[in-house]
């Protein structure tokens, strides 16, 4: 059986990686921030907002499908995370509207968007 203090220790480590990733994102170091989230995930301890930070990394790296997947995972683990739901909704609206643009990046002229 897992020792409760070990679980707490791993959760604290995940929180430290989340903080590090947040600071790296703010500094514009998206790849490094993403690496910090990978270290956090390797601890296999669900902590609220880890997948939100991963989604932010993915968005900044233009990996929108991965961002949506990370947000869906956040909501699977923490269904009450309204910020994750808002971001997922925004992302899905953005992906949907951008998929209706033609190759020039402009929306179609027929009024459908």
pLDDT tens-digit series, residues 86-96? 999 999 998 65
pTM: 0.79
Q: Are 77 and 51 in contact (CB under 8 A)?
A: yes
Calculate the CA 71 to chain-centre distance.
Answer: 5
Q: Each residue of 10-26: pLDDT tens digit?
A: 999 999 999 999 999 99
Q: Are 37 and 53 in contact (CB under 8 A)?
A: yes
In 3D space, the residue among 48, 47, 42, 73 whose CA is nearest the CA of residue 58 turns out to be: 73
Reply yes or no on domain 9-94 having CATH 3.40.50.300.
no
Q: Are 29 and 48 in contact (CB under 8 A)?
A: no
CA distance 34 to 22: 10
């Amino acid at each position: 059986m897992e020792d409760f203090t070990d679980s707490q220790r791993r959760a604290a480590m995940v929180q430290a990686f989340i903080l590090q990733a947040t600071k790296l994102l703010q500094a514009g170091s998206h790849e490094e921030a993403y690496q910090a989230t990978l270290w956090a995930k390797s601890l296999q301890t669900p902590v609220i907002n880890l997948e939100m930070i991963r989604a932010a990394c993915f968005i900044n790296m233009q990996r929108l499908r991965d961002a949506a997947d990370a947000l869906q995972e956040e909501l699977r683990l923490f269904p009450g995370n309204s910020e994750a739901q808002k971001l997922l909704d925004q992302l899905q609206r953005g992906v949907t509207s951008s998929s209706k643009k033609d190759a020039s990046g402009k929306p179609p002229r027929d009024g459908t968007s």
